[in-house]
Amino acid sequence: MARPRTPAVVWIRRASQTGFFLLFLYLFLQTVYKPVNQTGKGVKLFFQLDPLTALSSGVSARSLASGLLLGGITLLVTVLMGRWFCGWVCPFGALHNAITAWRSGRVKEKIASGGYSRWQTSKYYLLALMLAGCLFGLNLFGLLDPFSFFYRSLATVVFPAFNDLVTAAFTWVYQADPGVGRLKAAAVTEPVYEVLRRNVLSASQQRFLGTLLIALLFAAVVLLNLYRARFWCRYVCPLGALLGVAGKNPALRLKRNDQACNDCGLCVADCQGGANPAGAGSWKPSECFYCWNCRAACPRQALSFGFGAGREAELVAVQGAKEKAR
Amino acid sequence: MIAAILRWLKAFFRPPRQERLDLSRRALLLAAVSGAGAASVARIGATEGRHNFSPALIRPPGAVAEDEFLARCVRCGECMRVCPTNALQPARGEGGWTALWTPVLNMKTGYCEYECNLCSQVCPTHAIESLTLEQKQKVRIGTAFFDRNRCLPYASARTCIVCEEHCPTPKKAIWFEEVSVLRPDGQRITVKQPRVDLELCTGCGICENKCPIADERGVRVTSVGESRHPKNQILLSLGSDGLMGY
């Protein structure tokens, strides 16, 4: 069966994820000393958009830093549109998505492992545990907040390592200066290095203490995508849990045409969140990232997203009424 | 319209069975009790920085008192990324287990630059309060102490004034006493032995950072005297000036 054409909305979603991922990296690179005593603009943006930052700091310190109210907008959008943020905005999610998409594996295996698992509730219990801690002044959210996790890993491990490798590579080319006849490699690499040095690399190599644990955790979280699609987002992410609670009955819903569907399960193979798009009334809104992959994978166009209570909900209501009548 | 909103509200609080979050009430209660329990374990501990002051727990300038700091900090690492001298490091043991990966200063990897307040500019939760540069320059994050067993003019009868030269406060916080000492070859020379003025030292750590004794420095900063904590102080009246700092 030929794979149907990828709908435009999937490409728009990919562009949005790429854009926010690049924005996150750009703001990261802007978080440096600029003369005199300044950083680039807006470097706190993602933490301000993150309602979990506001909630955790606000609850445990009983006070809120001004810019954090932006997180309220994220929550409001989530109430209407579900965990759209996870699928379209979150840069950490974009990283997991990319690795999930890159992994190999047969479709059959993906169908078998891609569906909803009760273990996905673990993130809600984690959220409850940490929130209860916050009520009594213990704020541990920073350990697992996705932006904190990602930023901390980038700042103390990934970027310093990148900086070191790039500098070492360019230095080697400069010193050895390999070439053919009068064509020398350094003539090409030195201008590139100059651009990198001015815009990307650190003024001096940053070094951090005790980064092994941070590095191992980051590697583990990235590699777990090979075990389950977007493992972090499904099982761990406390921000995902918060948005899942806020978006548990969104206005934007997945609708299924029962006549067209033949239960092939292809939508499950590509589902990022384990939201069970297949099956009558089995869709889990709080696990759905609105990635539109199910819609793209369906060879019979049986799935679609739309506002308002859909066929599926009506069907359930009818079934419920029948059961009651019995 | 109103009916639709009401229906939506009803479904939000009582969604159809398969759309619920699938949570078990028992497990939820267990999680909440565990969280509260962990918080209580953290509260009753003789935690570094709250009751049992840790000399190594030197927080960035503008950091609020330790309880409040830990409540606000989300350990994002923006301050560590932006610190131009690489002084800010993710905490390991310095502040106890509840402070894992929160920012602490290490005066060997860097020091607190006098003309910089970037960490307070980038902190998203105001765990490090926004301070103007003028305010920040008056904040004390710790106090420097000389180790007379290692500092060269004391321990080895050698001339060294590196720390005093780097001290950034308008009136230097390091002053000298000129002392005549005996060299190994029997000659007498005059060296300048440095002391710290407890009133002027901000604990920035540049003296420790630049000290030529590479491993354990001859002058070291500890957290005592930090502005953010009224109890982590040198609790002695200092002559006519009264209690220092407070």
Query: What residue ranges do the domains of chain A occupy?
Result: 8-147+216-317
Chain B nearest-CA distance from A304, in A, is 18
Residue B126, chain A, CB below 8 Å: the answer is yes
pLDDT, tens digit, 9 for 90 and up, residues A215-262:
999 999 999 999 999 999 999 999 999 999 998 888 888 988 888 888
CB contact under 8 A, A124 and B23: yes
Evaluate whether residue B246 is within a structural domain: no
Which residues on B lie below 8 Å from A68 (Cβ)?
A: 124-125
Task: Kindly give, in sequence order, each residue whose CB lies less than 8 Å from that of residue B18, ignoring residues fewer than 6 positions away.
Answer: A281, A282, A283, A284, A316
Residue B148, chain A, CB below 8 Å: the answer is no
Q: Look up residue B242 and give its DSSP letter.
A: -
CA B157 from centroid of its chain's CA atoms: 33
Evaluate whether residue B120 is within a structural domain: yes
Which residues on A lie below 8 Å from B24 (Cβ)?
A: 121
CB contact under 8 A, A32 and B81: yes
B residues 95..124 contacting A (CB < 8 A): 98, 100-102, 106, 109, 115-118, 121-124
Which residues on A lie below 8 Å from B75 (Cβ)?
A: 142-143, 148, 152
Domain hosting residue B214, numbered range:
66-228
CB contact under 8 A, A138 and B21: no
pLDDT at B199 over 60: yes
CB contact under 8 A, A207 and B125: no
Instruction: Using only the alpha carbons of chain A, give its radius of gyration.
Output: 23
Per-residue pLDDT of chain A (326 residues; tens, 9 = 90+): 556 688 899 999 999 999 999 999 999 999 999 988 999 899 999 999 999 999 999 898 888 877 788 899 999 999 989 999 999 999 999 999 999 998 887 888 888 888 899 899 999 999 999 999 999 989 999 999 999 999 999 999 999 999 999 999 999 999 988 888 888 888 889 999 999 999 999 989 999 998 999 999 999 999 999 999 999 999 999 999 999 999 888 888 898 888 888 888 899 998 999 998 887 778 899 999 999 999 999 998 899 888 865 544 444 444 545 555 54
ipTM summary value: 0.89
For residues B208 and A289, give the distance between their C-alpha atoms in angstroms, rounded to a whole number: 51
For residues A208 and A211, give the distance between their C-alpha atoms in angstroms, rounded to a whole number: 6
* Cβ contacts from A onto B, under 8 A: 221
Task: Please tell me the total count of domains within chain B.
Answer: 1
